[in-house]
Structure 1
Amino acid sequence: MARKPVTTRRGRFVRLAGMTASVAGQYAGQRARRLFGRQDDETARSEHYTRMAGQIADTLGELKGAVMKVGQIASQTQDFLPKEFSDALQKLQKEAPPMPFEVIVEQIESELGKTIGEAFEYLQEKPYAAASIGQVHRARLHSGEDVIVKVQYPGVDESCDSDLRQLRTALRLGGLLKMPKESVDQLFGEIRERLQEELDYENEARNLHQFREFHADDPKVLIPAVIDSHSTRRILTLELVEGDHISEVTADRYDQATVNHIGTRIFHTMADQLFRFHAIHGDPHAGNFAFRPDGTLILYDFGCVKKLKPAIVESYRKALIAALNEDYQALDRHLIDLGARVESQPAVDEAYYAMWRDILIKPFDTDTPYDFAESEIHKDVAAKTSTVFKYLDYFKPPVESLFIDRMIAGHYWMMKRLGVQAAFRPKLETYLNLAEHKPDSVPAR
């Protein structure tokens, strides 16, 4: 039997506190078994992490909100959590189970100050989509315009800070955090800042206006317009702009040339935001993109936008150039500037950088088309993860560029699922040069 949804701050605190106590107890028990020599092998430790991570993932998915969003971010990186934890959190990337419709109706009427019938000609009960901090319903205005209504779950904004504190406590008491307190502070501070922005739908409305203007020159990049009259801090109403989900991009409707054009448009959109706009779409999973057989790319959900400091973009650009040129001394310096490398530690062995460079550079290592469908970069990365422990004290989570890495990883998976075949090395070099000389110029599409 499904449990009643938690919509109060106290209810969320109680549920998270129970999870924290359980995790802490499991960790203490495991330490005791190791102390008495009963359990110290890697298999047993992995099984312990898997059980613990499964419980945490179930709780985060049920509660939604800030903690589920952190879980989604954590599932995309193993910088600060064991692999078993990241694996268990993968299910949080899938669509979340929806909130009951009566809860959604109450939230809309409270925010707009009018009944559903007064605000809309109709509101569809079945969710159009459900996610971590809210869900989307299709509707029609009395003017006849079809729209979608994004409704924030009750209580998630008020509980954000306490949720994050509880989750951090659970990870610490479970022995799951693998970095110094200072780095944990920076990481959770960055996540909190992005979440506070994402929980403010008025902020998302401003982002939508800005990104629509920024991409206005490309008619094949569509971003929904905001219906200001039906939007508040917790309700966001947008024009309905539909396209195919990535699972619907099939060979019978999208030939390889069209897929390649879409892949190229994705690359340009990402690079434009990074090198020209200095603001990036920070939640690049498949549910936030749609496609059309004419090559159109549709972007959704601009709640998580990371505005980048020019110095960070410049350090990132220089790090990419150094990696392309196999200049590992320069790469080491630029990673320090990015905040990814601990400056007080000695220089990292160039062979270590070369190993990672040779894995990650593959899509950009040739002027001929790279077949993302056949790419196994993710497998190569996983196979080398154990080498990270040798230099664990040399690196730290790159807080300022964390969302750049997240953006690139998300786009890699989209390219792979789409089966893009494209040569991005010349295009990347064009952006790297333009960023230095003429950042407002647009490379040819």
Structure 2
Amino acid sequence: MAKKPVTSRRGRFFKLAGMTASVAGQYAGQRARRLFRSENDEGAQSESYTRMADQIADTLGELKGAVMKVGQIASQTQDFLPKEFSDALEKLQKEAPPMPFEVIVGQIESELGKPVSELFEYLQETPYAAASIGQVHRARLHDGTDVIVKIQYPGVDESCDSDLKQLRMALRLGGLLKMPKESVDRLFAEIRERLKEELDYENEARNIELFREFHKDQPWVLIPSVAKSHSTRRVLTMELVEGDHVSKVTRDRYDQDTINLIGHRIFMLMADQLFRFQCIHGDPHAGNFAYRPDGSIVMYDFGCVKKLKPEIIAAYRNALVSALEEDYEALDRHLIDLGARVGSQPAVDEAYYAMWRDILVVPFEDREVPYNFAEADIHKRVAEKTSTVFKYLDYFKPPVESIFIDRMIAGHYWMLKRLGVQAAFREELERYLKA
């Protein structure tokens, strides 16, 4: 029999508190047993971690919301938690167990104030997609319009802060956190800020209209429109606009020229949002984009949008120009303007900048010969050099204002790689930098 979902704030608190007490008890027992072993039994420790991790992953998957979002992020972060924990959380990244249909119907009727039968010609029971803070169902309006309905799970927004505090306590008492307190503070603060935005579907509706206006002169950018009559803070109804997930962009339907065209258009999307609109789609993972064989790109999920200050855009542009021209003295100044460099520290060794430039600028080196993103190994080369960061640890700081830019670029790098794009972007980049 399926478990009854926990949707009240009180119920979520007790569920998490029970998990925390259990994990803390297991950790205490593990430490006590170590005292009676002559050697550190790594097998026993790994087994204990696996038990704790499975229990936490099961609880987070059941509760969803803020705690599941942390679990998804943790599963991708090597230095956050022990390997056993990250492995157990991978299932949260791959599949979010759906909420029972009667709970979804209750949430829709509570938000929109009418029975589902009056609101829709039909509402498909099987979810179109399920995620951490809500799930999506296909439906049809009574006027015949096919739509998707995004429904926020009950209790998620009211419980966000207490959920995060309780999960953090569980990880700390279970001896699972592997990061300094300051890093944990920053991580949880970022998750909280992002979640608050994502939990407001009215804010997302405004973002959708904003980006539809941005891209109105680019017919190859497809952004679903909002059905305002069927949308609230916790329910968002949009026209159904379908495309192929990146995993479905196969050679039998997409030739290399079409893939390259899509690659150029992805680059234009990024550059236009950054340099022309100064407002970016801040969550560029594979599930938020789809493609069509005519080269069109479909964009979904505008819960995470970052509006950028003009001075940040100017500093970012200047830093890119300096890097391309190998003017490292100017690059150092512009990174200070960007908020990435501590201005009170002396200038950074130019050889250090040159090392990173030679890694990161590779796709833009040649004006004529296309760069093959399918064979790109920039991520591996960056990983090999991360140890050099410690030498200049006091010289740099997290660039708070531009962190979403870096996230956008990294997300689209992986998209271009998965698509197998072959393209030379240097001339396009220079046009945007001169504009």
TM range (shorter): 0.7 to 0.9
C-alpha distance in 2, partners of 1:350/1:53? 44
Q: Are residue 236 (structure 1) and residue 236 (structure 2) matched?
A: yes
Deviates more, 1:68-77 or 1:255-264: 68-77
1:131 Cα shift? 1.2
Q: Which runs of 4+ in 1 moved over 6 A?
A: 25-28, 30-34, 43-54, 85-88
Structure 2 partner of 1:81: 80
C-alpha distance in 1, partners of 2:389/2:171? 20
- The secondary structure found in structure 2 opposite 1:384 is helix
Structure 2 partner of 1:8: 8
1:66 is matched by which residue type in structure 2? A
Distance change (3 Å), C-alpha of 1:24 and 1:332: farther
Structure 1 partner of 2:179: 178
Structure 1 partner of 2:433: 432
Gap regions ≥5 residues in structure 1? 435-445
C-alpha distance in 2, partners of 1:189/1:212? 30
Structure 2 partner of 1:155: 155
C-alpha distance in 1, partners of 2:74/2:167? 12
Structure 2 partner of 1:201: 201
Spell out, residue by residue over 1:143-200, the C-alpha distance to the aligned partner (whole angstroms, 9 max, x if none). 111111110011111111122223444455546363563x655554343232212111
Spell out, residue by residue over 1:252-293, the C-alpha distance to the aligned partner (whole angstroms, 9 max, x if none). 111100011111111111111112212111111111111111
- Residues 82 and 178 in structure 2, CA contact (< 8 A), matched pair in contact too: no
- Residues 133 and 152 in structure 2, CA contact (< 8 A), matched pair in contact too: yes
Distance change (3 Å), C-alpha of 1:54 and 1:378: farther
Distance change (3 Å), C-alpha of 1:39 and 1:288: same
Distance change (3 Å), C-alpha of 1:247 and 1:425: same
Structure 1 partner of 2:310: 310
- CA root-mean-square deviation: 3.3
C-alpha distance in 1, partners of 2:340/2:204? 29
Spell out, residue by residue over 1:18-39, the C-alpha distance to the aligned partner (whole angstroms, 9 max, x if none). 45456666777679969x9955
Deviates more, 1:378-387 or 1:221-230: 378-387
C-alpha distance in 1, partners of 2:401/2:50? 30
- The secondary structure found in structure 2 opposite 1:126 is coil
1:240 is matched by which residue type in structure 2? L
Distance change (3 Å), C-alpha of 1:96 and 1:175: closer
- Residues 246 and 418 in structure 1, CA contact (< 8 A), matched pair in contact too: yes
C-alpha distance in 2, partners of 1:31/1:395? 42
- The secondary structure found in structure 1 opposite 2:298 is strand
Deviates more, 1:54-63 or 1:377-386: 54-63
Structure 2 partner of 1:255: 255
Structure 2 partner of 1:442: none
Mapping for residues 2-41 of structure 1, pairs under 5 Å: 3-21=3-21, 38-39=39-40
Mapping for residues 33-72 of structure 1, pairs under 5 Å: 38-39=39-40, 56-72=56-72
- Residues 204 and 303 in structure 2, CA contact (< 8 A), matched pair in contact too: yes
C-alpha distance in 2, partners of 1:329/1:176? 39
- The secondary structure found in structure 2 opposite 1:103 is helix
Structure 2 partner of 1:281: 281
Structure 1 partner of 2:142: 142
Deviates more, 1:98-107 or 1:329-338: 329-338
Distance change (3 Å), C-alpha of 1:375 and 1:95: same
Distance change (3 Å), C-alpha of 1:13 and 1:38: farther
Deviates more, 1:88-97 or 1:139-148: 88-97
1:191 is matched by which residue type in structure 2? I
- Residues 179 and 396 in structure 1, CA contact (< 8 A), matched pair in contact too: no
1:433 is matched by which residue type in structure 2? K
- Residues 222 and 296 in structure 1, CA contact (< 8 A), matched pair in contact too: yes
2:276 is matched by which residue type in structure 1? R
Aligned length: 430
Deviates more, 1:368-377 or 1:356-365: 356-365
Distance change (3 Å), C-alpha of 1:88 and 1:421: farther
Structure 2 partner of 1:421: 422
**TM-score, normalised with respect to structure 1:** 0.85
1:56 Cα shift? 4.9
- The secondary structure found in structure 2 opposite 1:149 is strand
C-alpha distance in 1, partners of 2:330/2:72? 33
- Residues 82 and 176 in structure 2, CA contact (< 8 A), matched pair in contact too: no
1:128 is matched by which residue type in structure 2? Y
Spell out, residue by residue over 1:333-358, the C-alpha distance to the aligned partner (whole angstroms, 9 max, x if none). 43344333445555444444333332
1:133 Cα shift? 0.9
Which has the greater radius of gyration? 2
Structure 1 partner of 2:401: 400
Distance change (3 Å), C-alpha of 1:24 and 1:403: farther
1:401 is matched by which residue type in structure 2? S
Distance change (3 Å), C-alpha of 1:246 and 1:83: farther
C-alpha distance in 1, partners of 2:172/2:332? 30
**TM-score, normalised with respect to structure 2:** 0.87
Distance change (3 Å), C-alpha of 1:88 and 1:222: same
1:420 is matched by which residue type in structure 2? V
- The secondary structure found in structure 2 opposite 1:155 is coil
Distance change (3 Å), C-alpha of 1:385 and 1:204: same
